[in-house]
Structure 1
Amino acid sequence: MTTHPYTRYVAIGDSQTEGIGDGDDLHGYRGWADRLAEILADGHPDFTYANLAVRGKVTAQIRAEQLGPALALKPDLVTVMAGMNDLVRPGFDAERVAGDIEEMFARLTESGARVATVTFPDLGKVSPLARRALPRVLDLNARLCAAADRHGVAVLDTFPHPVTADPRLWSLDRMHAGPLGHARIASGMACTLGLPGHDDWAAPLPRLAPVSALRTASGDARWAVAFLGPWAWRRLRGRSSGDGRTAKRPEPTPWARPHVARPHVSGSQGEAEGRAGFPGG
């Protein structure tokens, strides 16, 4: 049992918080927020948890669609993870994105909730799609940390830790954490919130064997066919992986790891896209 003051946790965000990469649409998604809830629920029978995150949402949509419902649930702990889907899109505006995030920080902390957030790792070391995004990542991380400091928001700063860009922490689409990555984020968030026993969340993994340039290029080519092409096609059509979807856990309920979480989506197209595991939150 871990001692902490939290009784009602609400998570808001995009696919990372929904748990994409840690499960599937058929059997359900776990994800770092579920894993954090499991840690917080240990020995706390009155603890409840809601997850309002929906894949594919940009920061403005998270603010518009999830902030109000989160406040209405009167949480004493809220995690905010937003910005990934903005970073990988043309026309990224760091000031606008950071402004939306800061508004969420302000309103949530004003409600009396403890708020925590996460910075972005060096995504270019994980995904070819993000190799030119480093200036964006650094800019948004700096703005996010400054906003967090102004509002007393706890920050899990992933960027300085090399393990967060280790491919073994990421799923095949290279845009979502895999099970190990989600577990590390949950542990890191627990550490950030002051829970004991999680100081080693950023410990490095055993060294990988060297990979030839040819094998790397071949892997990148397969990734582009399997994930980048379909993702770009969806962008061109103005579609999102979140179209027709709703939150997987819209009400605070006692923690219990579900056997199956059915897809919260309307229409066969959304189901097909969910199974395909497209990159982007």
Structure 2
Amino acid sequence: MREDSGGGKNARRRYVAIGDSFTEGVGDPSKVLPNGVRGWADRVAEKLAKAQPGWEYANLAVRSKRLRHIIDEQLQPAIDMEPTLITLYAGGNDILDFGTDMEALLDDYELLVARLRETGATVVLFTGFDVKVSAVLEPFKKRNTLYNERVRGIASKYGALLVDYWCFDAYKDSRMWSPDRLHMSKAGHKYLAAQVLDHLDIPHKISPKEWEPPTRLTLREWERRQRRWVNDWVVPLFGRKLRGVTLGDSLQPRWPQPVKVPRKGGLKKLMEAYPRYHRR
């Protein structure tokens, strides 16, 4: 991983995360952290600081953002921060939109990655997981496959690190997912943080969740859960799409300016000073 100033204790270490709900941390609730979530990126920042003092961290990701929003709203602010590490996941919301031109989307994604790599920072990309939630979302499977193929090629072309999320068998367990079945649960976010840290060769002690085998559902229980999921999550999701509104419309980035992450206590120790960082 690139570090400015030739390395050593005075080297600049700055991690900037950009993207959507995947990186914001949706599915991993927190009563004290910004936007009410924590997520894998916060955990990565904390472990970076614990392993190497001096790490700064900004997280510009906001739920529901499409690729065009990330390019328009997050790209230049991220570049201006002169990061040494950038993580990017973008395009998942576009995949679920009606009428998305996947070729055009992925061409824009490649241009975004090229801009990020021009900074000289280490760039980490992610494939998308093939979430087996319902036949309702099966029409989007081909889009996800195309997305993953192009992301792998782009990562190779531009020398980015690739966290091939699609390959992680651990996410076949429903307990790795939040109730909406589209966002990771706390356990899912912790597992992904460990994977990112492993790709960066950063030591950590995050271990996979050990569960008893899941209880087998009766047909009636399965049908009841399906109906609840459709009513609570699928219908509102498509309703928002038809109205042209998103859950992120009223939200600001969680860590809009780089904050120095304490080696002990993590980001929770910053919360007293958080309004200073959040004010624009």
Which of the pair is proportionally richer in helix? 2
- 1:204 is displaced (CA, Å) by 8.0
State whether structure 2 residue 120 is matched by structure 1 residue 91. no
Distance in 1 (alpha carbons) for counterparts of 2:139 and 2:219? 19
Given that residues 171 and 178 in structure 1 are in contact (C-alpha distance below 8 angstroms), is that contact kept between their aligned partners in structure 2?
Answer: yes
Give the alignment of 1:154-169 within 5 angstroms: 154-169=161-176
Distance in 2 (alpha carbons) for counterparts of 1:205 and 1:149? 35
Q: What count of residue pairs does the alignment treat as equivalent?
A: 258
Aligned to 2:19: 13
Aligned to 1:150: 157
Question: Could you report, residue by residue, the CA deviation over 1:108-132 in whole angstroms, capped at 9, with x for unpaired residues?
Answer: 1111000001111111x13554333
Q: Which runs of 5+ in 2 are unaligned?
A: none
State whether structure 2 residue 41 is matched by structure 1 residue 41. no
Of 235, 253, 259, 1:253 maps to 259
Q: Decide whether aligned partners of structure 1 residues 198 and 112 sit closer, same or farther in structure 2, where only a CA change above 3 A counts.
A: farther
Question: Could you report, residue by residue, the CA deviation over 1:26-62 in whole angstroms, capped at 9, with x for unpaired residues?
Answer: 7631111101101111043311000000111011111
Corresponding letter in the other structure for 2:235: G
Of 198, 201, 204, 1:194 maps to 201
Q: So what's the TM-score if we normalise by structure 1? A: 0.84
Given that residues 88 and 129 in structure 1 are in contact (C-alpha distance below 8 angstroms), is that contact kept between their aligned partners in structure 2?
Answer: no
Please identify, of 148-157 and 163-172, the stretch whose mean Cα deviation from structure 2 is larger: 163-172
Aligned to 2:110: 102
Q: Which runs of 5+ in 1 are unaligned?
A: 265-281
Q: So what's the TM-score if we normalise by structure 2? A: 0.84
Distance in 2 (alpha carbons) for counterparts of 1:31 and 1:197? 16
Percent of matched pairs sharing the same residue: 36
Of 156, 173, 181, 2:180 maps to 173
Distance in 1 (alpha carbons) for counterparts of 2:197 and 2:135? 30
Corresponding letter in the other structure for 2:213: R
Given that residues 188 and 198 in structure 1 are in contact (C-alpha distance below 8 angstroms), is that contact kept between their aligned partners in structure 2?
Answer: no
Of 23, 31, 39, 2:29 maps to 23
- 1:135 is displaced (CA, Å) by 1.3
Distance in 2 (alpha carbons) for counterparts of 1:93 and 1:186? 31
- 1:181 is displaced (CA, Å) by 0.6
Please identify, of 26-35 and 230-239, the stretch whose mean Cα deviation from structure 2 is larger: 26-35
Task: Name the SS for the 1:220 alignment partner.
Answer: helix
- Report which of the two structures shows the higher radius of gyration computed on alpha carbons: 2
Give me the CA root mean square deviation: 2.5
Distance in 1 (alpha carbons) for counterparts of 2:16 and 2:201? 18
Distance in 2 (alpha carbons) for counterparts of 1:127 and 1:180? 22
Aligned to 1:183: 190
Given that residues 119 and 144 in structure 1 are in contact (C-alpha distance below 8 angstroms), is that contact kept between their aligned partners in structure 2?
Answer: yes
